[in-house]
Amino acid sequence: MLTLYTQVDEMIASLADRVAVVTGGNSGVGLEVVRGLVSTGHRVVLACRDIDRGRAASRAVAASLPSRSNDEAVLVAERIDVLPLNLSSLASIRAFAARVRDRYDGIGALVNNAGLVKPGGGLSADGHELHFAVMHLGHFELTRLLLDLLRRGQTRSGRPSRVVSVSAWGHRLAKPDFDAVRRADPNAFRAYCRAKLAQVVSTRAWAKQIPENEVAFFSLHPGIVRTNLAGDLGGLAQRTFELIAVTAAASAQLPLYLAQEPDLERWSGEYFSYRTFQRSFGHAPSRASRYADDPALQRRLRTLSEELSRV
């Protein structure tokens, strides 16, 4: 029988055939998360808006991983299931979740990675502020719809499933004006930070609702990730960016750690930062916004999310 990799240790064997769902997995950090999960034996559902780009990403991952034959490379590619998902549309989210439920009977990890910054703002297909709709509301609804599969994944594997939400340090700059999510916001940075704050607050709320021995929830700042935009900065700004920025592959190590590392359940609900993760003994959590621990705010956000998603 063909093996996918030249070396298979006990960790890979224990993770083999666990299913992971990754949103925005066709580029950047999301693509590196897909690559890392496949390399440890996961079957990955790569969710993205553009199905052709998703398939191209799937082929790129298969081509980049060690294989001893073309047949083995094909086996790697077959472990990536590309499905369309538009997080700005509740109808698309529900259709995606239905497809996942039809194909799989359990999920070991859900990585809520997809994000955007749209200058000038805009509204989602359902009439909600676009950044909030994609990065918080869409992921909230997706998590809710896949929660039964996450619980079954825990039952099958004997270890809690994980929900890992990629937030950002900018969440600490936001104020919780969640009434603003009912209209477009022309200030894309403000809307982005508000949506990232919602992800952190929601992670805390999910962790209170779901026992940590069933599903563990984490949010994170992936670091300042190096992109092609750096070349447009020029001068001192460009040199500073290049000094502090990290590659997508390096940034992906944190969500991969939170999705796979055993015995992290005691930190369910916590927020992690890439720099703290790299420097701290034991990879301890980082400090989140003071709003994250506000129980009234957690309840208000959950009520609003259920209302906007028409639960």
Q: Poorest-confidence range of 65-69, 159-163, 193-197, 245-249?
A: 65-69
**pLDDT value of position 156:** 76
pLDDT digits (tens, 9 = 90+) for 110-142: 999 999 999 999 999 999 999 999 999 999 999
Is the pLDDT at 70 greater than 80? The verdict is no
67 and 4 Cβ atoms separated by less than 8 Å: yes
**pLDDT value of position 235:** 58
Contacts of residue 261, defined as CB under 8 A and 6 or more positions apart, other chains included, come to: none
Is the pLDDT at 106 greater than 50? The verdict is yes
Q: What is the pTM of this model?
A: 0.89
Is the pLDDT at 11 greater than 90? The verdict is no
Half-sphere exposure of 104 (CA within 13 A, CB side): 28
Name the region of 44 (left: φ>0; alpha: ψ -120 to 50; beta: rest): beta
- Separation of alpha carbons 180 and 182, rounded Å: 5
The better pLDDT of the pair 230, 143 is held by 143
Residue 192 designated active-site: yes
3-state secondary structure of 246: strand
pLDDT digits (tens, 9 = 90+) for 246-277: 898 999 999 999 999 999 999 999 999 998 88
Rg (CA), the chain: 19
Catalytic residue among 192, 271, 274, 291: 192
First-to-last C-alpha distance (Å) of the chain: 47
pLDDT digits (tens, 9 = 90+) for 212-237: 999 999 999 998 876 544 444 455 55
CA-based torsion, 98, 305, 308, 47: positive or negative: negative
